[in-house]
Structure 1
């Protein structure tokens, strides 16, 4: 079959509605098998994300594999920037009806010239569902698991709202904003964002951003340019007036029923005061008061981060099957694919 396979770049600027629908069909079919029971990404949302990727993931390129004019696989590569410019974040999906025919190898091989042109050193994948054919395929090609990503979701209709009634600890007050941090706290907010560096990343090559006030402003502007509504709830230390911890949640107008819980961090000197649970409980009440159509909030964290997983459970999140981050040096990928491989 692979002799008749055509792999080509997928140009979102000229793709037709039927092109996007064929791409989406592979995504939906693979998700139904690998992540059963999860709501699928709507076609319209996929198209919007492909035409203008979400912030923080760098430039992105797409490929599709066709057999008899049918799209049977796709690949996406995010070319991360700044601290992570050596990493090509790669996702390969093959339609379940066409797996175990070498298609994944062919499309991965087709990416190599672009990965080399970008000067990358490492290929990582973060979308491998644990225990699925995708994990077996990646490991057969020499990719090693470097991190387990715990996924959790708050389904609003099933949650116990009493869990969101949490008092603010003594010595702190809560502050909240949409879009831009107040000028008086942006510097300490940047410091608090840096506390995310304590969150475990396993053996992944990925590195957390180095936050400064100017980087916070650039990040806020990027979110706003995409139409993402960013909410931040922060705990302010009464004595110093500085941000001691924060939690961040984004909602996109294209998908008002779904919230994305992003970074949450508390400075080491303020841990042990129940700030994480307080902030997430407050955030949940706040966002649902403003966005009553929201029916679920999703989040991820490292499986080793048992404290954050416990905090999420304490405010009503339930656990989904994990993802496995896999990694291999580009030179090793090239050497492996230079040989005849059928997996």
Structure 2
């Protein structure tokens, strides 16, 4: 007889070591099966990830699934804020060695009342690996695929530095900073960040932030508080002095040799001049000048965003994993689970 699955709220910051070891076992197997492009997940890195909410994603709530006393799965909900405060961004992880035994379904059942109590009516997941178990499991539980995302990486070992020797287009200059935008640029920087709203999001419920100067300053303060190194490179239009394009990169406190390439946006009136490639290339040169031991930069790109894929390919990024995003209303999920 198979033991019953129990699901409970979990605070990793106050957890006993046995539970953290169990979480590492589950997550390490998950990475080995579904994230083969990444280095093996160490125990220390796993615990750091569990204990450190991802900046900008709101309050984070975790659950643990046990069977016969053994940790067999875990789940995370990020309670997105502002424009996306109707969404519970959800990730359910089951040890690949015990999948297809109802564990993920038990976890989903346990999460839905909490999501409803928190005022969330849309459940969304962003990174289900194509070719893995996740997409089909999600489909049969009531989720709909709403987009495809590419995980892309630039590995510095063996890369050709000539790819990053990109001149600044005529009529523009670049500026760069860590942490906080200069006062003389912050207003036009906020406006330039609005250009990311043109990026195709498919059927995602997520909405890009409405970037204003207070919103930029709030985001900068949040990253500083989390110990994140935040780098920005912008292209400034010389005739007007306004920011025409930007890119940002984050290095989390425990990621000592790699960084996350975040949003790159070019204002519509300045597109077609190579500004996106220019600012991303300068970011790479700047990063390596300061941190020559860095091994890679990682980013996600929408499968429908062919212009950014082209820029990334020119700089040496390759696609390491293809993922789908899914979502569903809570009512649909509850009705589907009731039939299982």
Task: Mark yes or no: TM-score above 0.5.
Answer: yes
Tell me the residue number matched to 2:337: 337
Answer yes or no: is the 8 Å Cα contact 2:87–2:206 preserved in 1: yes
Question: How far is the alpha carbon of 1:52 from its aligned partner?
Answer: 2.7
Answer yes or no: is the 8 Å Cα contact 1:30–1:93 preserved in 2: yes
Tell me the residue number matched to 1:169: 169
Cα distance between partner residues in 2 of 1:43 and 1:299: 24
Cα distance between partner residues in 1 of 2:186 and 2:45: 32
1:244 counterpart SS class: strand
Tell me the residue number matched to 1:113: 113
Gaps of 5+ in 2: none
Tell me the residue number matched to 1:75: 75
Between the two proteins, the alignment pairs up a number of residues equal to 340
Question: How far is the alpha carbon of 1:44 from its aligned partner?
Answer: 2.3
Matches within 5 A, 1:82-121: 82-121=82-121
Q: Deviations over 1:9-45 (max 9, x none)?
A: 1122320233222112111101211222421343323
The 1:276/1:201 distance shift into structure 2, 3 A limit, reads same
Matches within 5 A, 1:1-343: 4-339=4-339, 341=340
1:312 counterpart SS class: helix
Cα distance between partner residues in 1 of 2:42 and 2:55: 19
User: RMSD of the TM alignment (CA)?
Assistant: 1.2
TM-score for both structures, normalised by structure 2: 0.97
Gaps of 5+ in 1: none
Question: How far is the alpha carbon of 1:167 from its aligned partner?
Answer: 0.6
TM-score for both structures, normalised by structure 1: 0.96
Question: How far is the alpha carbon of 1:3 from its aligned partner?
Answer: 5.2
Cα distance between partner residues in 1 of 2:338 and 2:46: 33
Cα distance between partner residues in 2 of 1:20 and 1:196: 38
2:77 counterpart SS class: strand
Cα distance between partner residues in 2 of 1:18 and 1:159: 41
Answer yes or no: is the 8 Å Cα contact 1:2–1:106 preserved in 2: no
Question: How far is the alpha carbon of 1:240 from its aligned partner?
Answer: 0.3
Cα distance between partner residues in 1 of 2:5 and 2:253: 38
Answer yes or no: is the 8 Å Cα contact 2:147–2:204 preserved in 1: yes
Answer yes or no: is the 8 Å Cα contact 2:248–2:263 preserved in 1: yes
